[in-house]
Amino acid sequence: MLKEAISYSIDHDESVKLVQVTDPHLFADPEAQLLGVNTAHSLDAVLNTIKAVEYPAHLLLATGDISQDYSNQSYHNFVAAIEKLNLPCHYLPGNHDDPRIMNLHMQGPRVYGDRRILLGKWQIIMLDSTVRGKPGGHMADSEMAFIEEAVAAHPDKHTLLAMHHNPILVDCKWLDQHCMDNGEEFLDRVSSLPQVKGLLWGHVHQGLDQVYAGNSGPLRLMATPSTCIQFKPKSPYFALDAQQPGYRLLELRPDGSILTNVYRVPGNKFSPDHESSGY
């Protein structure tokens, strides 16, 4: 049985506006670094950039890898950091998160682990693609059934699916080892649902925006850069990119179309250790 969704009062002729941040990889220690980048400082720079553009967002989505060290404090640090945006935040786990610890400590006055969100003409479904103890992902049958049940409950609403792992390969041989291992099956199944208009994820630390020719029409596929280090696109081996930390803005329109762009912190303040061979 479906748990009740969290609902926001938005007119059906109004676009739903979202900010997505992903993969901040925070530590308990706010001065700790990941491959040469202070992840607390880079997240703060992203949040300051979002605040400066004054995008009239309804929600913030945080799509996993909130923590790098699995600590209680790393989640408290994230909640404290996002307060400046003054937005409701909905989150889901990544492979660097411990869902139990996350759910206990991602707590704030407007921080939610609810898995279904209703706004205007849209339903957003927050998915768990993680596999305990593994960097790669898998979409369990129970998650597939959850999507189908949620869509059936609101057949009149367009649907955005949010997750952590990439269901398609991104042409990085080392990184594609850690994709969603049943991504092709997942795409085939969700694309048979005409309500599903887009898939949104993190994990790959780079931007991607493609259209998948689904069984019931085109499906938007979107990956978003990390708020800390970036992985070099189309690299066969582990390599870091010089691009700055980023985020994504989305406008979900009442007709089911999606307008979206990736944006990055201006300047070149955050420079990772390019000699690193992994993390």
| 25 appears as a binding residue in the annotation | yes
**Is 164 marked as binding a ligand?**
yes
Calculate the CA 140 to chain-centre distance: 18
At 63, list the tokens.
């799509």
Q: Which residue has the tokens 């990055």?
A: 264
Q: Is 12 annotated as a binding residue?
A: no
Cβ atoms of 47 and 5 within 8 Å: the answer is no
Residues 6+ apart with CB under 8 A from 235: 172, 173, 174
65 annotated as a binding-site residue? yes
Q: Is 58 annotated as a binding residue?
A: no
The candidate with the shortest Cα–Cα distance to 63, out of 15, 125, 105, 13, is 125
90 is in an annotated binding site: no
Residue 265: count other Cβ atoms within 10 Å of its Cβ.
22
Residue 203 assigned to a binding site: yes
The response to whether 23 counts as a known ligand-binding position is yes
Binding site per annotation, positions for Fe cation: 23, 25, 65, 95, 164, 203, 205
Binding site per annotation, positions: 23, 25, 65, 95-96, 164, 203, 205
Binding site per annotation, positions for AMP: 25, 65, 95-96, 205
